[in-house]
Each structure stands twice: as structure tokens, then as C-alpha cells.
Amino acid sequence: MAPGRPATAPSPAALSSTPRRANLRPASLHKPRHKSVICCYGPPVERFPDLAPLALALAIGLLVGLERGWSARSAEAGTRVAGFRSFGLLGLAGGLAALLPLPLAAILLAAGAALVVAGYVRASTDPHARSATAALAGLVTLGLGWFAASGHGVEAVAVAAVMTLILAARHRLHGLLRGISPAEMEAIGRFAIVALVILPLMPDRAMGPLDAWNPRQLWFVVVLVLALSFAGYALARRLGPGRGLLVTAAVGALVSSTAVTAAYARRLREPDPPAAALAAGIAIASAVMLARVLLLTGLLAHLALPALALVLGPALLVQSLLAARLVRRAGASAPAGPVALGNPLDFPPALGLAALVAGLILLSRWLLDRFGGLGIGVLLAVTGLADVDAAILTLSQLPQGTVAPARAGLLLALPVVANSLWKAGLILAIAGPRAGRSAAAPLAITVATAAGSLALALAAGLG
């Protein structure tokens, strides 16, 4: 201000045009003061990426520890070596080891393994509680924690779930072992050799006359059929004849519906037999056979399944309804009695099936060259009189494109119809016309249904 001039108050306009002090602050000063706080307390997984694998390793340990703690819930306090918390810490230790430098990781893993071994040594002093299961589970849990934190979380969780299931099924597995006979144990060993040793060694190329045989494919389908048959055989033995005639028929048909039919037909000749229950058992065995054929076709010749289902689907429905009607008429299930089911994993039946299928494959190639699909149809129908499985295996081994899928499905219906007719005749021949009439009638109705479906499919131009 110039000297001598009086001070004048600023006008209102000047006041409104003068910038306020707050507006003169830098723009950076207007940012929220708590932004750094938000940054420091953001999502933990983003700021600490190691938390997720460590949490997964801990969860794996707690999952296994839950089962281990539950199994030892009746033990006295102080006698349990490891339980829920210990296994959780073992999993966490494995996860930490995966994130530490190698020397520290080795020390931590060695210390965890040493603690597990020390616990086993301590528990082994009691002869009644001597078991390596807990120690092995601890070592596997330690390794799974490391595996999960190493970037293989899905695989580690899957292994932990399977291990927990195996540990929880202790009593059931022990009961299964007590029920296995020496012959069955030997058969299981044979199957392991057949499926895990011989199959990989088989050459995977066409060979033999007309290049009809691919040894690996042929052996694979034989192994598959043997596995399915042995599953039914083992189930039949576990359930036993004490479960009743109807249950025995259902599980026995997984091995051989013809054997069940022949055994029940023989019982129809006995004085005062449970005729309604026996007829129901034969109908159930036939229905299981139809379902088994559809299952094997889906596994071995899936392109032929739609056409085959159009023919056998109505037959299966009719057979099931007839079986249900006979079951209601039979009332309480009668004692089953013995049904001769040979062990399908004995080497003679297995080699016999392989030789039969190999011969049928060669014959089908020759018939296909000479007579086309008609020759194969006749061959499969004749084969079905003895073994429907062999007919399915034969068709599955034909080169792709040799027979159209729809025609292949219709051709597979022929051995099923022939086999059902054969069993109906077998019932009448064994039990006699009077006693066997009621048991053979459902099979005849099923054959008529399948034949009608087949005729409709042919009329529609499906084949």
C-alpha cells in the first residue's frame, strides 16, 4: 500500500474473486488420508499369496486327522499318539516346507517324519495296538501338505479324500478280506497278471489270417468281460443263497443267466417246488441278461447301442414287468439253493473265451467277404445259443465301417433272441412241459417283443 493512502475495505466483489486458502492446496493433498490404510489391509490372498496353499495344506491334514481322531475316540487320554490336531499340523508342516528354502525344508520334513516314526515306536510297545496305519497316514499327510503347497492342490486334495475313505472303511475292508477264500485270492492274482502284465505286452496291430486279430484289443475285451463276470461271481458268493432265491438269481445272472435258468429249472422238477418264486427268478435273470448286453455293447460297440436299444429296450421293459408280477405272486422269497457258478477267472474259462472269440472273429471276416452282413447275422445268432458275450465281442472286433452302426445293432439283437429261445427250450426240456410252462412263458413273451421290435426297425429301413 502506498504511504499516506487510507486503508479501504475490500469490496464484496473483490472478496468473491479472491481464491480461498483451501483451494490453493495441491491436488495431492485432497486425497483421502486413509488410502495407505486401505492398501495395507486389502484382500489377504492378493497381498499374501502363500496363505492359500498353506490353508489348503492345513485343510488336508485336518481332513485326515478328523478320521484318525474319530477312529481313536475310545482310546484313553494320553494313549493317542496323533489325532485331529497332530495331523493338521503335519499337513501344515508339509506346506511350510514347500515354501521354505531347500535346506530348511529338508530339516522340517525330516523332523516331521522323525516325530511320526517316534510315535509309531511308542505305540508299538502295546502289542494290542500295534499298527503301521497311523504312521503311514502321517507320512502321507506330510507329503500331501508339501504337494498341495507346490502347486498341485487339486491332486493333493483328491489323494487326501481317497486316503480318508480307505482309512474310514477299515472294518468293511477287513470283513471283505475275511470272506475271500484261498481260491478267490489266487484268482485275483491271476487277474492282475492277465490285466496288468499280459495286456500291456500284447502287440497292438492286426495280424493272422485276413488280418483278423489285434491281440491287444482282443485281450482287452476278454479282460473286461472277465472283470464284469467276476464281480457278479464275488457278489453272489458274498450274498450267498441265504439272501433268497430272487437275489441269487439277479446276481448270478451277472455271471451266467443260463446257469441260473438251468438250476431253477431242475428245482421245478422237485416235489412241491416254489414254482412262482422259481419262475420269478428265471424272469429276473433274463432281465439282468438283457441289461448286461446293453451295458457291454455300450462299452465295446457304442455305435451299435442306439439301434440295439430300440430292439431290446421294449423287451427289457416287458421282461421287467413280468418279473415284477411274478415276484408279487411269489410273496416271500424261498431259499435259493445251490447255483453252480464257475469262477470266471480260472485260466481254462478265460483262455477258452479268448480262443472262442478269436475263432469267431476269423470266421466272421470270412463270412463277411463271402456273404456280407447276412453271413455275420447267422454266425452271431448261432453263437448266441452258447454265449451272448462272445457274439458281442466278435462284432466289436470287426473293423470300423465294415458294418453300418444301425445294422450292427440289429445284428446283435439276433444272438439275444436266439439265447432267450434256447433258455425257454432248456426250461421245458429239464422241468417238463407242465412244470416248465409258467417259467418259460415270460421268455417267450420277451422273444416275441424283441422280434416285433426288430421287424418294425427293419420295416422302417433302419438296417
pLDDT computed for residue 148 by the predictor: 92
Residue 7, in any domain of the structure = no
> Which cell is 153 given?
492342490
pLDDT computed for residue 414 by the predictor: 87
pLDDT higher than 90, residue 6: no
User: pLDDT tier at 145 (50, 70, 90 boundaries)?
Assistant: very high
Q: Are residues 136 and 264 both part of a single domain?
A: no
Q: Are residues 225 and 310 both part of a single domain?
A: yes
Quote the CA–CA distance of 448 and 190 in Å, as a whole number. 41
Q: Are residues 273 and 234 both part of a single domain?
A: yes
Place of cell 473265451: 353
Out of 160, 175, 190, pick the residue that ends a domain.
175
> Which cell is 384 given?
448266441
Task: Give the range among 191-205, 279-293, 438-452 with minimum mean pLDDT.
Answer: 191-205
User: pLDDT tier at 120 (50, 70, 90 boundaries)?
Assistant: confident
Residues 6+ apart with CB under 8 A from 360: 379, 383, 390, 391, 393, 394
pLDDT higher than 50, residue 343: yes
Q: Are residues 297 and 351 both part of a single domain?
A: yes
Mean pLDDT within 309-326: 91
Task: Tell me what percent of the residues of the chain surpass a pLDDT of 70.
Answer: 78
pLDDT computed for residue 29 by the predictor: 40
Quote the CA–CA distance of 64 and 168 in Å, as a whole number. 10
Q: Are residues 216 and 325 both part of a single domain?
A: yes
Q: What is the pLDDT of residues 96-114, one digit of tens each?
A: 999 999 899 899 999 988 9
* Most confidently modeled range among 1-10, 33-42, 212-221, 300-309: 300-309
Place of cell 489377504: 44
Q: How many domains does the chain have?
A: 2
Q: Are residues 192 and 162 both part of a single domain?
A: no
pLDDT computed for residue 350 by the predictor: 67
**265, 439 Cβ separation under 8 angstroms:** yes
User: pLDDT tier at 337 (50, 70, 90 boundaries)?
Assistant: low
Q: What is the pLDDT of residues 162-172, one digit of tens each?
A: 999 998 888 88
Q: Are residues 207 and 108 both part of a single domain?
A: no
Out of 126, 145, 175, pick the residue that ends a domain.
175
Q: Are residues 248 and 146 both part of a single domain?
A: no
pLDDT computed for residue 63 by the predictor: 92
Out of 175, 195, 216, pick the residue that ends a domain.
175
> Which cell is 365 given?
471276416
Residue 310, in any domain of the structure = yes
Domain containing 429 equals 181-459
Q: Are residues 264 and 146 both part of a single domain?
A: no
pLDDT computed for residue 143 by the predictor: 92
Residues 6+ apart with CB under 8 A from 254: 228, 229, 231, 232, 233, 235, 236, 288, 292
Q: Are residues 189 and 152 both part of a single domain?
A: no
Residue 155, in any domain of the structure = yes
Quote the CA–CA distance of 129 and 120 in Å, as a whole number. 10
What length does the chain have? 463
> Which cell is 217 given?
484289443
Q: Are residues 222 and 74 both part of a single domain?
A: no
> Which cell is 65 given?
486327522
Residue 144, in any domain of the structure = yes
Mean pLDDT within 428-456: 89
**376, 368 Cβ separation under 8 angstroms:** yes
Residue 31, in any domain of the structure = no
Q: Are residues 301 and 384 both part of a single domain?
A: yes
Q: What is the pLDDT of residues 394-420, one digit of tens each?
A: 888 777 777 788 888 888 888 888 889
Residue 32, in any domain of the structure = no
> Which cell is 367 given?
463270412
Residue 14, in any domain of the structure = no
Residue 4, in any domain of the structure = no
CA nearest neighbour of 456 among 317, 310, 318: 310
Q: How far from the centroid of its chain's Cα atoms is residue 207's Cα?
A: 33
SS (H, E, C) the chain: CCCCCCCCCCCHHHHHHCCCCHHHCCHHHHCCCCHHHHHHCCCHHHHCCCHHHHHHHHHHHHHHHHHHHHHCCCCCCCCCCCCHHHHHHHHHHHHHHHHCCHHHHHHHHHHHHHHHHHHHHHHCCCHHHCCCHHHHHHHHHHHHHHHHHCCCHHHHHHHHHHHHHHHHCHHHHHHHHHHCCHHHHHHHHHHHHHHHHHHHHCCCCCECHHHCECHHHHHHHHHHHHHHHHHHHHHHHHHCHHHCHHHHHHHHCCCCHHHHHHHHHHHCCCCCCCHHHHHHHHHHHHHHHHHHHHHHHHHHCHHHHHHHHHHHHHHHHHHHHHHHHHHHHHCCCCCCCCCCCCCCCCHHHHHHHHHHHHHHHHHHHHHHHHHCHHHHHHHHHHHHHHCHHHHHHHHHCCCCCCCCHHHHHHHHHHHHHHHHHHHHHHHHHHHCHHHHHHHHHHHHHHHHHHHHHHHHHHHCCCC
pLDDT computed for residue 318 by the predictor: 92
